[in-house]
Amino acid sequence: MNTESRKYVLIAGVLFISTVFLLRLFWIQVVDGKWKAEAANMAERSVTVFPSRGLIYDRHGDLLVANTPVYDLMVIPREVEPFDTARFCELIGVPESDLRTRLSEATKYSKFKPSIIEKQIPADQFAAISVHLHKYPGFFGQSRTLRTYPPRVAAHLLGYLSEVNAKKVEQDPYYKAGDVIGVGGLEQYYEEEMRGRRGVSYVLVDVHNNQKGSFKDGLYDTLAVEGKDLFTGIDLDMQKLGEELMVNKKGSIVAIDPKTGEILCLVSSPTYNPELLVGRVRNVNYGELQRDPIKPLFDRALQAQYPPGSIYKIVQSLIALDEGVIDLNTGFPCTKSLVGCHNHPAAGDIIHAIQYSCNPYFYQVFKRIVEQDKDPNRFKDAALGLTDWHRYMLTFGLGQRLPIDLPSAKGGNIPDVAYYDRKYGKEGWAFSTIYSVSIGQGEVLVAPLQMANLAAIFANKGYYYDPHVVRAVGHPDSLQQKYLKKHVTGVDPKWYDAIQEGMRRVVNEPGGTAKNARLKDITVCGKTGTAENPHGQDHAVFVCFAPMEDPKIAMAVYVENSGFGGTWAAPIASLLIEQYLTDTITRPDVVKRMKEADLIAKEATFVKKVKPKRRRR
């Protein structure tokens, strides 16, 4: 066949196919009225399929966070027909002025794309609305899930969901206006793992808003991918008890499994019911919580920074022993002219010094660390000593943010040479300037999480794992490898036996400062502390671990404005230890006293009675 012949064959083929399509189109549009009527009554709509957000479990498989179905009421402006706005607003519970504003904003955004008119309507309420939607073309429901918190605890730890802001939408193409995102706690830290991936379903709807099936049998649909579940180390019963014991108190509790670094309990008090920040009432409730003078939104366990008080003496002891400036049998007199102290027997060695918590003893210990006669110039000598001391402190996880899987942890402050040079000038300070650091006062600041980590170090005799809440993501056996790394302190482990014995005596021997933490069949090792508070009563702290023979729990309890550490912090810690290790409480009278104590009201009365001193001019 020549070229001319092939050309005519090709033209004939094109004409034939075109004629077939034209005849079929004529039949559908003109001859067959059924197709014409159906096309007039059908429209294609894309519906976002939101994935189920990952759940959060405690160490025993109990749910901490779950999902509940809700609906967003959507609108496509071009499909809206004139309707009775008053009746519609009454149906959905929205003021007419708000509806007009939202419709105007939706039209400005797009006449053809769906926009949210009312978000997060509970399923039972939407059921009553949906039966009337056929009267209002252009409006339809879109399902999604909302968070729910069955135990209603651990609000600071878990975080909450909030609508994504415009900046995040611009930065991350995954998010669209109206999406929600994790804020604070685990919800924020594990946002990418828990959010999953949304899908899209294309459906056909008639003019009455009734779905008539999927478009092309779902050929273009994409499936939503569920978010991954989180498996935490939290003990729900312990968390509940901790929050109950801290009612009407300001402070925190952090408990750690020293063998793994898993957080067993993390309490910040005052706290709030996490259900308050769910759904359409979230913004109103958040504003009220934010204005509350006792600051329930403030995470004291991670963000509060305090002087550590006497618990710091244990770290000073270890450094001094390792540096060789004291030995286990070194004794110092309790010379109160150096620094104030309570009455107690003489501390003839380091174990008794810890037991009695002697301030002058640790004044002398810190002096020997800082002043080692390495340089004849006393200022340079102090700088050399403080440099070595600071290096040790960093190995204990102090002066830096611990890499916990929560977004808001603070790192405290461990002053170094540069810090004091800025404050007093180079060669403008020496030990006599900074001696208050010896007993955990002055410029030293630690967060409660760091205090609990110290307790884990004392329990492990010189090492720790990064504290973390989530042990596994996606599957309970998929342990997070990054939390299996052991961090070793700069102190020889041989010194820890004496430290543990001193801590045992603090709780279990006469003259110890934490007798209220004593348990009948469990050997608790601990150390009390009292941190000075220039604005009211001093703060109380207690760090501990148990049992001494095989530590399974390490803890820090911090109670603001409560005075001596052994009065409130120590008994609270002992109750939690007993509950965790034995699953029972044998001292209901102590539980009752702790729960009923209102230290917030007591502090308000104390501050009111103590008038500020008038300054002399």
Position 616 confidence tier, pLDDT thresholds 50, 70, 90? very low
Position 68 in a domain: yes
Distance of CA 269 to the CA centre of its chain: 13
pLDDT in tens, 220-243: 667 778 999 999 999 999 999 999
* CB proximity list for 111: less than 8 A, separation 6 or greater: 76, 77, 78
Tokens of 522: 């469990």
CATH code of residue 327: 3.40.710.10
Asked if 411 and 420 count as a contact pair (C-beta separation under 8 A), the reply is no
Residue 41 has pLDDT above 70, yes or no: no
pTM for this predicted structure: 0.84
Q: Based on the fold, state whether residues 58 and 131 are members of the same structural domain.
A: yes
Position 75 in a domain: yes
Q: Based on the fold, state whether residues 462 and 531 are members of the same structural domain.
A: yes
Q: How would you class 547 by CB atoms within 10 Å of its CB: exposed for 0-12, middle for 13-18, buried for 19 or more? A: middle
pLDDT in tens, 114-144: 888 998 888 888 999 999 998 999 998 888 8
Q: Which domain holds residue 408?
A: 236-609
Q: Based on the fold, state whether residues 222 and 277 are members of the same structural domain.
A: no
Position 304 in a domain: yes
pLDDT in tens, 353-385: 999 999 999 999 999 999 999 999 999 999 999
Quick one: which H or E segment has residue 253? Answer: strand 251-256
Residue 617 has pLDDT above 50, yes or no: no
Q: Based on the fold, state whether residues 223 and 242 are members of the same structural domain.
A: no
| Number of domains composing the chain | 2
- Return the pLDDT at 252: 97
Residue with tokens 């107690």: 344
pLDDT in tens, 46-71: 667 778 899 999 999 999 999 988 88
The mean of the pLDDT values for the chain is: 87
Q: Based on the fold, state whether residues 160 and 284 are members of the same structural domain.
A: no
Position 441 in a domain: yes
Quick one: which H or E segment has residue 71? Answer: strand 63-75
Position 332 confidence tier, pLDDT thresholds 50, 70, 90? very high
* CB proximity list for 434: less than 8 A, separation 6 or greater: 370, 386, 415, 420, 442, 443
> Span 241-252, mean pLDDT?
96
Tokens of 250: 């300001």
Q: Based on the fold, state whether residues 86 and 194 are members of the same structural domain.
A: yes
230-232 vs 56-57, strand pairing mode: parallel
Q: Based on the fold, state whether residues 243 and 325 are members of the same structural domain.
A: yes
Tokens of 45: 């709509």
Residue where one domain finishes, among candidates 232, 251, 278 = 232
Residue 201 has pLDDT above 90, yes or no: no
Residue with tokens 């399923």: 123
Q: How far apart are CA 355 and CA 225, in angstroms?
A: 57
Residue 39 has pLDDT above 50, yes or no: no
CATH code of residue 200: 3.90.1310.10
Q: Based on the fold, state whether residues 222 and 266 are members of the same structural domain.
A: no
C-alpha distance from residue 404 to each of 60, 65, 408, 449, 450 (Å): 21, 20, 9, 9, 11
Position 36 in a domain: no
Q: Based on the fold, state whether residues 226 and 265 are members of the same structural domain.
A: no
Provide the greatest CA pair distance for the chain: 121
Residue where one domain finishes, among candidates 211, 232, 253 = 232
C-alpha distance from residue 378 to each of 249, 253, 324, 433 (Å): 45, 41, 20, 12
Q: Based on the fold, state whether residues 245 and 211 are members of the same structural domain.
A: no
Residue where one domain finishes, among candidates 166, 197, 232 = 232
Q: Based on the fold, state whether residues 200 and 254 are members of the same structural domain.
A: no
Q: How far apart are CA 106 and CA 49, in angstroms?
A: 20
Position 8 in a domain: no
- Return the pLDDT at 534: 67
Q: How would you class 455 by CB atoms within 10 Å of its CB: exposed for 0-12, middle for 13-18, buried for 19 or more? A: buried
Quick one: which H or E segment has residue 162? Answer: strand 160-163
Q: Based on the fold, state whether residues 53 and 120 are members of the same structural domain.
A: yes
Q: Which residue has the higher pLDDT, 545 or 482?
A: 545
SS3 content of the chain, % helix, strand, coil (to 5): 45, 20, 35
